[in-house]
Structure 1
Amino acid sequence: MAVTKAKVAVLISGRGSNMAALLYAAKAADCPFEIVLVAANDPGAAGLVLAAAEGVATFAMSHKGLKRAEFDRIIDAEIRKAGAEYVALAGYMRLLSPEFVGKWEGRMLNIHPSLLPKYKGLDTHKRALEAGDSHAGCSVHIVTAELDDGPVLGQTPVAILPGDTEDALAARILIAEHQLYSRVLAEYVQRDSQPEAILAQVRERAMALPRAEETLSHGMPCFGIEKGKKFAYFTKDHHGDGITALIVKTTGEEEQAMLIEEDPDLYYRPAYFGPSGWVGIRLDGGATDWDHVRDRLETSWRLIAPRKLADVF
């Protein structure tokens, strides 16, 4: 099953070296994100030339003469037109309007050249040197309305050497930034597709059914009616099949075969369960239809629930 990559727009103001690091990381086949737009508030930003040469869509417009919110609305429209689901700030030297930040809440990241919460804002290397710190570094954080104040997702400390200058320290920290940003962004866009997060989604829906309980069976989390039969199993790489899925009951092998024939990318015949008419629903392809999962859980629950219980639900 092909995994859908998260679509990311990158905002820059200059050379775009962190943008380039993200762009080249995205070329790896197993990278969970792709860059769909590079936008700048300076039409002369050098990073735009690189992005265009690498086949990435670009947009540039000077912010001069425009109110902050007005310019941000223009950028927002371009990001949405590109189909982006996330925004990565990479040396974007503009304060963002609260309206723009609110629209991308939880979906916009920034890289900052200090070990936050130390040294928010500018001149971070100079401030670290003047403070006599043993280490400087960089941080990736979620963007909030307050400058450089959102939750930190990852950091890389960089040792300050004897006799360091701002430029020398900045050059080493930039190497760390290039390593850190792509790794943290990859982890972040996959956070909802990790097996633990998927199981939490399944659990929320399964446990909402009457008298549902969660237990373990054959090493798998499973859901059943209290002191009764099971109506769903959660499987993660069971017997090394590499699949994350929900196994639910159908009316029999005929319905099972029909579902698989109609959507073979979603449904499959699970090992050991298949001969009994159970069907697997893959949850590792991205963009899971959780309403559909809820409906299949309810259908499976009804197939095993005592008549008296099913009739009142």
Structure 2
Amino acid sequence: MAALLYASRAADCPYEIVLVAANDPGAAGLNLAAAEGVATFALSHKGMDRPAHEARLDAALRDAGAQFVALAGYMRVLTEDFVVRWEGRILNVHPSLLPLYKGLHTHHQALVNGDSHGGCSVHVVTPALDDGPVLGQTPVAILPGDTPDTLAARVLIAEHQLYSRCLAGYVMRERSPEYLVAQVRARALGLPESDEVVSHGMPCFGIAKGKKFAYVAVDHHGDGRIALLVKISGADEQAALIDMDEARYFRPAYFGDGWIAIRLDLGDTDWDTVADRLERSWRSVAPRRLTALLDAADAF
């Protein structure tokens, strides 16, 4: 936690720590955070059932404005319900080279098995223990005479270096043009007979040899925004969307009333909504034989 906090003080760090929370009111990190001017939340889990405790924790995180959760020595396994509520937004650092040695006693296992290296991994948290996508790893050489404690001490240094870099990269990916275009591409090209070309300097998706149904604008005309452009029913729908959330939706220049631009670079994109908008737009230009094919697949 301290390593993440002090890394956040660098001028070019893309994240800030808004809350340090613990289930042990005596955790030393709480005093450190308070001394550094960071808000804290402590609630013992003793005497509380797990869902009630996690509900209080969840409320504290949201009240603080947290967008991501970085676990740092939090030794209680989070329930599936909590993880799902923060899906894709919880990271953890684990003292092994995953998928090796999930759970506890990782250094002991590396030594008993005669491994040449221990190490650490930063991964996305999923409901399965230590099983989410790995974002980064650092191998740490095992030395003659190492014990679990001596190996753990060196792995801890590696954790401090690795975690802040992985967290910074993960936070920034939702504002990275490459990541955002890739997310749209995966969903657009998953639609029947869709293809990708470059049009007006933008990634453009359409029916192969047919009409276009989506563009990704990256700083188009120097507006500083990354946005998905999709077809809609017309001016009324366009106005309604903009009125609902003018920070996210806007009228794309030169595209007219039949299109809407959806900001992708706000850091909280709902990719299910993006997939739905892409499919609707695709349906508006796809021939009947293709929409019938998709309808038949949806029926199963």
Q: TM-score, normalised by structure 2?
A: 0.69
**1:270-285 → structure 2 map (5 Å cutoff):** 284=265
Residues 94-138 of structure 1: CA deviation (Å, up to 9, x unaligned): 122333233223221211111122222222212211221100001
Cα gap change, 1:114/1:289 in structure 2, threshold over 3 Å: closer, same or farther? closer
AA at the equivalent of 1:79: L
Per the alignment, residue 11 of structure 2 pairs with 29
Residues 1:132 and 2:114 aligned together: yes
Identity among equivalent pairs (%): 67
Alignment of 1:67-106 (within 5 A): 67-106=49-88
Structure 1 residue identity aligned to 2:4: L
Q: Secondary structure at the match of 2:17?
A: strand
Partner residue in 2 for 1:252: none
Change (3 A) 1:227 1:179: same
Unaligned ranges ≥5, structure 2: 231-241, 255-260, 286-300
Amino acid at match of 2:76: R
Answer 1 or 2: higher relative contact order, Cα 8 Å, separation at least 6: 1
Distance 1:286 1:63, change over 3 A: closer
* Alpha-carbon distance in structure 1 between the residues aligned to 2:206 and 2:216: 12
Say whether 1:199 aligns with 2:177: no
Q: Could you tell me which of 103, 106, 121 is aligned with 1:121?
A: 103
1:137 aligns to what SS in structure 2?
Answer: strand
Aligned to 1:38: 20
1:37 is displaced (CA, Å) by 0.8
**Does the 8 Å contact 1:38/1:58 carry over to 2?**
yes
Q: Which residue in the other structure is 1:276 paired with?
A: none
Q: Distance in 2 between matches of 1:149 and 1:28?
A: 31
Q: Relative to structure 2, which stretch is displaced further, 46-55 or 80-89? A: 80-89
Matched residues, number? 278
TM-score (ref. length: structure 1): 0.66
Q: Deviations over 1:45-87 (max 9, x none)?
A: 1101111111111011222222222222221221122122221
Q: Which residue of 2 aligns with 1:6?
A: none
After superposition, the CA RMSD in angstroms is 4.6
Q: Distance in 1 between matches of 2:137 and 2:22?
A: 25
Structure 1 residues 289 and 35, CA gap change in structure 2 (3 angstroms): same
What is the aligned counterpart of 1:216 among 195, 198, 216?
Answer: 198
Distance 1:206 1:135 in 2: 42
CA distance in 2, matches of 1:180, 1:186: 10
The structure having more radius of gyration, on CA atoms, is: 1
Matched-pair contact (CA < 8 Å) for 2:249–2:263: yes
Shift of 1:160: 0.6
Pair 1:108 & 2:96 matched? no
Aligned: 1:184 with 2:166:
yes
One-letter amino acid of the counterpart of residue 88, structure 2: G
Deviations 1:173-203 (A, max 9, x none): 1111011112222222233332234335666
Q: 1:261-290 deviations in whole A, cap 9, x for unaligned? A: xx99998999xx9xxxxxx98754545699
